[in-house]
Copies of this chain bind each other. A is one copy, B any other.
Amino acid sequence: MTSIRSKIFVNNTKAADLSKSNQLLHSIPEEIINMFANSANIKFYQKGQSIYFEEEDAEFFYFIKSGLVKLFHQTMDGDESIIDILTHKHVFGEDAIFNNDTYENSSEAVEDTELLIIPTSVLKEQINSNPKVALAMLSSMSKRRKMQEREIEHLTIQNAPQRVGCFLLRLCPKNKDKNIVINLPYDKTLIAARLRMKPETFSRSINTLRQVTKIRIRGSRVEIDNIQQLSDFSCGTCSSTYPYKD
């Protein structure tokens, strides 16, 4: 079983990009995931493959070793309402233990993805017997809640180009304010869906950002000469200021 433990943490270029940013603050510490290693199995999912469906009985929760996972609801008229796009080191499906052991949403691999699959029964045992696990879960949940609060605020008071600008700012290294180069963590259609805008709104927003803040975007490469211009434009109406603390 040590082999699984040693295999938990792998390198993933795009994910490594993300981990430099603020995106992983609400991930679960490696130390905690290691506690589950003896009960975990590894499973591969191909791009587009479903992991579980909403309201299905939940026997497992999942830890992302590598890849990208989309959480979503199906709306009454058949559309997808995306809740989150998760990258490596994130846990999902664990909420089911507070939802009568059924999944609260559907999940799907949006890239080839490698998951650790851990029985929810083991999670319940650990929360009951190990305060460290309970604290890590609480801390992670609290941070995700905070991110949701921010998202609600943004949907209410920011316009679309400001929301795209904010998304880019959160990918930037905190210790640099000039000549920044970042890579978009996933394709633009998915970013648009994550930001809850139509692809054409996303494209128009990118054009606005190009004109107003002088950023350059080619493919997935984004060049930001002066971060102040981007943050002045994006954060004006918001309760957060750049560099973000959360």
Interface residues of A (CB under 8 A from B): 73-77, 79, 81, 83, 95, 98-99, 104-105, 127-129, 131, 134-135, 137-139, 141-146, 148-149, 151-153, 155-157, 196, 235-239, 241
Contact = CB atoms under 8 A, between A and B. Distances in A.
CB-CB nearest 7 A-B residue pairs: A134-B134, A73-B239, A98-B142, A148-B148, A156-B196, A128-B131, A155-B155
A155 to B, nearest CB: 5
A155 B81 CA distance: 11
A47 B142 CA distance: 28
Nearest to A84: B149
23 contacts: A73-B153, A75-B238, A76-B235, A76-B236, A76-B238, A76-B241, A77-B236, A77-B237, A79-B157, A81-B157, A95-B142, A98-B138, A98-B139, A127-B131, A128-B131, A134-B134, A134-B138, A137-B138, A138-B141, A145-B145, A148-B148, A148-B152, A155-B155
Task: Give the oligomeric copy count.
Answer: 2
A152 B149 CA distance: 9
Contacts of A146: 95, 99, 104
Given A141-B138, A141-B145, A152 B153 contact: no
Contact of A144 (B74, B134, B145): B145
Contacts of A135: 127-128, 134
Contacts of A239: 73-76, 81
